[in-house]
């Protein structure tokens, strides 16, 4: 059985993510298969320091994440490693959530100018949103 929720409830659930992320949250891109929720991460490729607040208030069941400044691939990212998922943590590294990653237009929670990450090469987030929708 599926449930349907009022938009105000959906917005409140999404706004709780912004509260949990706090100020200067970190969003790290990873390669490989996404682990179980909050599980041991795979290879870190790049890390964004997110804006404060993480997002404006949710509207219509959608949380539009404030886009951070570009970042660069981390040392050890290798050359041309594909980003496949992302993890949001507080500035103190406490787990908040895991998300999907795609290139722009790919429909992921986090969309990047490219999912091909290389050490020292710039990567930008082009779109980022989360939807708490009814079936």
Cβ atoms < 10 Å from Cβ of 71: 19
Query: Interior CA angle at 47 toward 40 and 92, to 5°?
Result: 65
Query: What is the structure's pLDDT at 29?
Result: 96
In a domain, residue 17? The reply is no
Containing structural domain, residue 118: 23-131
What is each CA distance from 49 to 53, 87, 124, in whole angstroms? 11, 12, 12
Quickly list DSSP for 26-61.
EEEEE-S---STT-----EEEEEEPPSSSBPPPBTT
Residue corresponding to tokens 């041991």:
40
In a domain, residue 97? The reply is yes
- The count of structural domains within the chain is 1
In a domain, residue 119? The reply is yes
In a domain, residue 96? The reply is yes
Q: Is residue 51 within 8 Å of residue 68, measured between CB atoms?
A: yes
Q: What is the pLDDT of residues 63-119, one digit of tens each?
A: 999 999 999 998 877 677 899 999 999 999 999 999 999 999 999 999 999 999 999
pLDDT at 1 over 70: no
The DSSP code for 11 is H
> Helix %, strand %, coil % for the chain, to 5?
10, 40, 50
Q: Which of 12, 135, 33, 23 is nearest to 89 (CA)?
A: 23
Please give the model's pTM, rounded to 2 decimal places: 0.93
SS3 of residue 19 by DSSP: helix
In a domain, residue 99? The reply is yes
In a domain, residue 51? The reply is yes
Q: What is the pLDDT of residues 4-61, one digit of tens each?
A: 999 999 999 999 999 999 999 999 999 999 999 999 998 899 999 999 999 999 999 9
Taking phi first (over 0 means left), then psi (-120 to 50 degrees means alpha), and beta for anything else, what does residue 52 get? Answer: beta
In a domain, residue 9? The reply is no
In a domain, residue 18? The reply is no
């Amino acid at each position: 059985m599926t449930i349907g929720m009022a938009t105000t409830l959906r917005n409140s659930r999404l706004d709780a993510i912004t509260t949990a992320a706090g100020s200067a949250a970190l969003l790290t891109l990873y390669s490989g298969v996404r682990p179980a929720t909050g599980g041991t991460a795979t290879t870190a490729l790049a890390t964004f320091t997110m804006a404060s607040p993480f997002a404006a208030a949710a509207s219509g069941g959608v949380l539009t994440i404030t886009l951070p400044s570009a970042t660069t691939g981390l040392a050890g990212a290798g050359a041309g490693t594909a980003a496949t998922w992302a993890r949001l943590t507080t500035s103190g590294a406490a787990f908040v959530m895991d998300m999907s990653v795609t290139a722009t237009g790919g429909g992921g929670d986090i969309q990047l100018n490219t999912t091909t990450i290389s050490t020292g090469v710039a990567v930008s987030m082009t779109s980022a949103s989360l939807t708490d929708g009814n079936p």
